[in-house]
Structure 1
Amino acid sequence: MFWQDFITIALIHLVAVASPGPDFAIVVRNSITFGRRIAMYTSVGIGLGILIHVAYSLVGLSVVIKTTPWLYQAISYLAAAYLVYLAIGALKSGPPSASAKGEDTPAPKEKNMGPGKALWIGFLTNGLNPKATLFFLSLFTAFIDVDTPMGIKLAYGLYLAIATGLWFCFLSYILGSGRVTRLLGQKGYWLDRTMGVLLLGLAAKLVFA
């Protein structure tokens, strides 16, 4: 029975994690602006952020958050403010300088972000996402009950965190390889700006939904 539930959870999670959202936008943005290595750290942070949702879902706090309108709204506003902050940085992106336009010059440079900050940004982006709260609320309510052993619950949670981190690490690798890297170096600021607009749209959706 648990294996059947696990397979179903894995398939649902795959669809959810592959859908565009704040996590996707910030990984793309960091890949363009800072390069593959920083995007990888961001991806690991996103995976760690999943553990927040897993933790409060296991102890039932997700139900409290969902059934307490002012608390859920406060989380939504906090998440929206953070997304706006990230969007402003993305919208400020511009074309590379003349000296950086050489064909053999690797485009995305690691500018002013270290691994720790990248990890923290990924962690906050996922941890503050109230849509993830709803996802885990519905997922854990549907497949976990009082009879589910704690070991099985923890296994589900760890899988979701690891699978999320690996997915975004894979995305970071793809965005930071070969021709994609060179293309992003010359035209990537347009995609960065697009991600900024997407982040603003996601922030607006959180506030006005």
Structure 2
Amino acid sequence: MPFDVITYLPEIISVTVIAIFMSISPGADFVMVTKNSLFHDRKAGLYSALGISLAIWMHVTYSIAGLAIVIANSPLLFSLIKYLGGAYLVYMGWKTFQSGSDIRIEQGDDKPTLSNFSAFKTGVITNALNPKTTIFFLSIFTQVITPDTPILIQLLYGAIISIAHLLWFSLVAICVTHPLSLTLFNRYKVTIERVIGVVLIGFGLKVAFSTF
């Protein structure tokens, strides 16, 4: 049935504002994009950002299909998402912490390679198994959106959230691979490696044991 977009303008504005704040709030996605950008290259960070943006559509899909309500009412299913996400972050954090690489990264130098697909896959998995994102979609699609909200409007909300994540994490990848950032990275590489590893492990443990 035809609908007036103006009718949904307050919802669109609300979802846009929430999506922006949700994107820029510190979390596992931010740490993973930073890690791939610094330890590999800008392209790895951008492909990770693209993976995160695509993973958003997984959350959109199950929310539109009504599975968000199932997840919200199934402690077992939600716990499974939590533990898988937590285990993945702990694994990636430990790998980063004990990597001990002494490679210096300079603009234009050859860097430790990470294939485009691997970087993309890392972004997808990190966001897809991120309970924070799941909670976000549960709140959006069970409170902001009503059963009468047209599918096209729901898809528009999904596009807004996906684009917000893509733009923000692409910006992160670009900023952390700026020559000044790389200079600082080379100076404190071992410390940064271990800090990022600990942060990822911390996020993983928080995800696994949090009651949200």
Task: Tell me the residue number matched to 1:39.
Answer: 45
Moved more, 108-117 or 159-168: 108-117
* 2:65 counterpart (42, 53, 59): 59
CA distance in 1, matches of 2:137, 2:110: 36
Alpha-carbon distance change, 39 to 189 in structure 1, aligned in 2, over 3 angstroms: farther
Alpha-carbon distance change, 54 to 109 in structure 1, aligned in 2, over 3 angstroms: farther
CA distance in 1, matches of 2:108, 2:29: 22
Is the 1:95–1:187 contact (alpha carbons within 8 Å) kept by the matching residues of 2? no
Is the 1:86–1:196 contact (alpha carbons within 8 Å) kept by the matching residues of 2? yes
Deviations 1:118-165 (A, max 9, x none): 001100100111221111110122221121111111111012112101
Is the 1:32–1:108 contact (alpha carbons within 8 Å) kept by the matching residues of 2? no
Unaligned runs of at least 5 residues, structure 1: none
Task: Tell me the residue number matched to 1:142.
Answer: 143
Alpha-carbon distance change, 86 to 109 in structure 1, aligned in 2, over 3 angstroms: farther
Give structure 1 regions of 4+ aligned residues with deviation exceeding 6 angstroms: none
CA distance in 2, matches of 1:153, 1:93: 43
Paired residues, number: 204
Q: Which residue identity is paired with 1:142? A: Q
Task: Tell me the residue number matched to 1:202.
Answer: 203
CA distance in 1, matches of 2:112, 2:39: 8
CA distance in 2, matches of 1:109, 1:44: 23
Alpha-carbon distance change, 67 to 16 in structure 1, aligned in 2, over 3 angstroms: same
* RMSD over aligned Cα atoms: 1.8
* 1:8 counterpart (14, 38, 42): 14
Under a length normalisation based on structure 1, what TM-score does the superposition of the two structures give?
0.91
Give the C-alpha shift of residue 107 in structure 1: 8.7
Unaligned runs of at least 5 residues, structure 2: 1-6
Is the 1:108–1:185 contact (alpha carbons within 8 Å) kept by the matching residues of 2? no
CA distance in 1, matches of 2:111, 2:196: 18
